[in-house]
């Protein structure tokens, strides 16, 4: 049973919603979002609202990563 199912809270400062997704810190920091974290850790837990913001900010990065993989 993972932490999400146990009911871990969102890692964004000031948010007390339950997390629905988890991502690594390196992926989160590469997205250059304006979200501030409660504390720095290996895994970042995001609620539905903050995950939507993360997806919008990281879309360009994910597209570039796909292109790079297809060029091999």
Task: Summarize pLDDT for 4-35 with one digit per residue, the tens.
Answer: 999 999 999 999 999 999 999 999 988 888 89
**Structural domain boundaries enclosing 9:** 3-70
Contact 54, 33 (CB under 8 A): yes
Contact 3, 22 (CB under 8 A): yes
CA atoms within 13 A on the CB side of 8: 16
pLDDT of residue 61: 84
pTM for the complete prediction?
A: 0.83
Q: Is the pLDDT of residue 72 over 70?
A: no
């Amino acid at each position: 049973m993972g932490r999400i199912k146990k009911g871990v809270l969102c890692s964004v400062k000031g948010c007390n919603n339950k997390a629905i997704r988890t991502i690594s810190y390196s992926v989160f920091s590469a997205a250059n979002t304006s979200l501030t974290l409660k504390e720095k850790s290996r895994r970042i837990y995001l609620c539905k609202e903050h995950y939507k913001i993360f997806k919008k900010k990281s879309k360009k990065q994910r597209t570039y990563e796909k292109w790079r993989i297809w060029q091999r």
